[in-house]
Amino acid sequence: LHCDIPSQVVAAIDINTTANLIYKHNFPDTPLWNKTIEGISLDDFNKLSFDMILMSPPCQPFTRIGLQGDITDPRTKSFLYILDLLPRLSRLPRFILLENVKGFETSSARERLVKTLTECGYEFQEIMVSPPSVGIPNSRLRYFLIAKISTGQLSTQTSLKILDAFPHAAKSDSAEKPKVLSPTCQCTSKPEEEMQSGGVLYKLETRTESQRKIDQNSDLSVREIQDFLEPQTEVNMEHYLLPPKTLLRYGLLLDIVKPKCRRSVCFTKGYGRYVEGTGSVLQSSVESVFMGLDQCSEEEKLQRLSKLKLRYFTPREVANLMGFPQSFSFPEQISTIQRYRVLGNSLNVLVVSRLLQLLVS
């Protein structure tokens, strides 16, 4: 985890068979439990005698595009089980780190979490943070909570320390800046759609969206996309080119980045299968073809779009943009689509490592 924190993982727990295969491939000596959290008894947890819990509960109950079922969604069962179990452990863990999507910060699940932590004697801090804050050109705004058993130290200037942990905090795009949340968090910022103004430019983009991309690409504290790409000689990039049908249908909706860009949008589990809203694609040529494209015939449109040599990022490149170390690898039997899927369900490793360093320091 990019951390120099002496540690031993006493148990990794997941029910996703693909994720477990990948985990076992990278950490062959770590005990891996293929079972639900609620299937583990209080006695089993006590036997582990752990000092830290790292958890990323299912995000579907809290996503902005989902049903937002919150604690009524059956997928919160494991999280609620942990909250029920925590006060009954024979020894409370010293540290807790939790990650989830934007939306969790205003949920009933978050209220229960904060109530349980307070009753158990934890101090905690909450933050919304995205990878540009650690110099990585990929938007993935997420909620994090770090907690430790109360010593009267965590709350002292912790907000400043959290911001100090992200020295590359984006200067130009307020949505990407780390935001420390207050204990009585009631975030009421407008959805992105409502904040957009101005006419639509070519490529079905509002002026606000276009300006935001220009601002992001101007932020020199964030590295360029090309720093995260695989060498062309090592991979057959033809496999990753967007097919003609996709170019014709989604050409005006794609989020396109070039190697010199300092931005890309969040990669989701649908990347490689679906196009709209699942992640950026890379333009491999220097052509500019969009002006007047909507007036062209399908044949001419396809000819123009093909000149861009648009391709998906490879799974290794997505992993690079999510802060995974070079030592990380996939077992050969895991397909490209499966790789995209688990990466889309993952988190930014470098962001987590910064928070862990802060938590245990």
Residue 75: what pLDDT? 66
CA torsion, ordered 20, 339, 318, 79, to nearest 10 deg: -40
Left, alpha or beta for 2 (phi > 0: left; psi -120 to 50: alpha)? left
Contacts 24+ apart (CB under 8 A), 241-250: 241/309, 241/310, 241/311, 242/275, 242/281, 242/310, 242/311, 242/312, 244/302, 244/306, 246/275, 247/302, 247/305, 247/306, 247/310, 248/298, 248/301, 248/302, 248/305, 249/275, 250/275, 250/276
Per the residue annotation, which of 59, 120, 187, 266 is the catalytic one? 59
Distance, CA of 217 to CA of 199 (rounded, Å)? 22
What per-residue confidence (pLDDT) applies to 236?
87
Q: Which residues of the chain have pLDDT under 70?
A: 1-3, 58-75, 152-164, 167-177, 182-204, 286-293
Which CA distances in Å does 147 have to 7, 112, 356, 359, 361? 18, 14, 10, 7, 12
- 3-state SS, residue 193: helix
Residues whose CB is less than 8 angstroms from the CB of residue 182 and which lie 6 or more positions away in sequence, other chains included: none
Vertex 226, ends 249 and 323: CA angle to 5°?
95
Residue 59 annotated as catalytic: yes
- Give the residue among 222, 278, 283 at the shortest CA–CA distance from 257: 283
HSE-CB at 8 with a 13 A cutoff on CA atoms is 6
pLDDT of residue 54: 96
- pLDDT tens digits, residue range 327-354? 999 999 999 999 999 999 999 999 999 9
**pLDDT at residue 165 in the model:** 72
User: Can you say how many angstroms the Cα of residue 115 is from the centroid of all Cα atoms in its chain?
Assistant: 26
> Looking at 16-85, which runs of residues are DSSP E strands?
32-33, 52-55
Report pLDDT digits (tens) over 143-186. 999 999 987 655 555 665 666 677 665 454 566 667 777 665 44
Q: C-alpha angle with apex 209: 207 to 211, nearest 5 degrees?
A: 65
Q: Which residues, including other chains, have CB under 8 Å from residue 42's CB and lie 6 or more apart?
A: 85, 88, 89
